[in-house]
């Protein structure tokens, strides 16, 4: 069965959760971010299966073929960690390794602190532990976002507006995804948002039109067709609800779990980012030093040259080597 991936739709934590699995062996759960899908791990599934692991890539709640609740509270760490634990139950496993990217990385860090007994190890792609913009600040996230938005457009503040972001992409889903993928990749210029005012600016208009049409070296026309179809699977009104609500729930997560802020991560850990990733560039050197202080068993700590935010797709061979190296160390 190593050569074939298998789709499943399971009942998990009160929702339908779609996943793809490949391989046999110790369980590795892959959690994507925004914009992402279980498809974002298409290069990792066969590599991990070939290395002797059962790799399971989720459509996180709000994405793809999984349920898409409208209420932002349904995307809290209480809910998403429950989804992860339900996946373990489905496979009859008491423990697994979790690898997360972007918002999936934030969940992975949360699991490492609050559910370490269910983890053999944890991996974060592109989001360092305890990063201020990822909930590690001592002030309320929306207050931090608003302070940045006083100076220029800031997407994390933009997404707090009820209903507004959803309306700005209706009928422009392919254009928005194409611009967002470009802005966050190694060749993009997401941080050009500093040239735009917050008031009256739409995120889609901050994102530059790519200077090169698809295909790109890491994303084909067929890949984009698949992303667009899966985001539209539940209709245009809910196309981006998973990502939008992940921003809107950050205050609630901060309120629920602020007592454990800055807690050490005691289990084996991997961190990999892209040197050209704007999310990595938003992190200060002090935040990376802080991660290394709070994560004593950081077995892999790498920034991949020439890679942007989508390292699973932009640098799959290099990332896969590091993932297998980490998993084999456990």
d(CA 208, CA 178): 10
d(CA 57, CA 37): 8
Q: Is 43 a catalytic residue?
A: no
Q: With CA atoms as reference, report the closest residue to 272 among 237, 234, 301, 305.
A: 301
DSSP character at residue 195: G
Hey, is 274 helix, strand or coil?
A: strand
Structure tokens at 144: 């931090």
Structure tokens at 125: 């792609």
Q: Where are the beta strands (DSSP E) in the chain?
A: 6-12, 15-22, 27-31, 54-58, 96-101, 119-125, 269-274, 298-304
Catalytic member of 5, 32, 157, 309: 309
DSSP character at residue 202: -
What sign results for the dihedral spanned by CA atoms 246, 114, 38, 326? positive
Q: To the nearest 5 percent, what fractions of the chain are helix, strand and coil?
A: 45, 15, 40
**The residue count for the chain:** 330
β-pairing, 27-31 vs 54-58, is parallel
- Cβ-contact 42, 35 below 8 angstroms: no
Structure tokens at 219: 């994303």
Q: Is 102 a catalytic residue?
A: yes
DSSP character at residue 24: S
Catalytic member of 59, 83, 102, 223: 102
Hey, is 328 helix, strand or coil?
A: helix
User: Which are the catalytic amino acids?
Assistant: 102, 309
């Amino acid at each position: 069965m190593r050569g074939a991936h298998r789709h499943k739709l399971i009942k998990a934590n009160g929702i339908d959760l779609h996943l793809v699995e490949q391989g046999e062996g110790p369980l590795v759960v892959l959690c994507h971010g925004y914009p992402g899908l279980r498809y974002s791990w298409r290069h990792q599934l066969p590599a991990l299966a070939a290395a002797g692991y059962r790799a399971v890539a989720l459509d996180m709640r709000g994405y793809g073929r999984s349920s898409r609740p409208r209420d932002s509270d349904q995307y809290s760490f209480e809910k998403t960690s429950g989804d992860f634990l339900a996946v373990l139950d489905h496979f009859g496993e008491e423990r697994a390794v979790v690898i997360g990217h972007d918002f999936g990385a934030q969940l992975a860090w949360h699991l490492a602190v609050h559910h370490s007994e269910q983890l053999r190890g944890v991996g974060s792609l592109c989001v360092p532990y305890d990063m201020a913009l990822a909930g590690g600040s001592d002030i309320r996230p929306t207050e931090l976002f608003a302070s940045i938005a006083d100076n220029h457009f800031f997407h994390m503040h933009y997404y707090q507006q009820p209903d507004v972001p959803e309306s700005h992409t209706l009928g422009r889903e392919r254009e928005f995804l194409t611009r967002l993928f470009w802005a966050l990749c190694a060749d993009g210029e997401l941080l050009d948002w500093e040239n735009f005012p917050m008031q009256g600016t739409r995120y889609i208009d901050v994102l530059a039109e790519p200077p090169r049409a698809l295909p790109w070296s890491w994303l084909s026309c067929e890949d984009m067709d698949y992303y667009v179809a899966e985001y539209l699977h539940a209709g245009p009104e809910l196309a981006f609800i998973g990502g939008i609500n992940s921003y809107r729930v950050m205050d609630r997560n901060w309120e629920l779990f602020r007592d454990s802020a800055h807690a050490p991560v005691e289990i084996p850990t991997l961190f990999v980012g892209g040197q050209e990733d704007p999310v990595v560039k938003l992190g200060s050197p002090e935040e990376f030093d802080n991660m290394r202080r709070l994560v004593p068993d950081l077995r892999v700590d790498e920034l991949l040259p020439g890679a942007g935010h989508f390292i699973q797709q932009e640098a799959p061979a290099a990332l896969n080597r590091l993932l297998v190296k980490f998993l084999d160390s456990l």
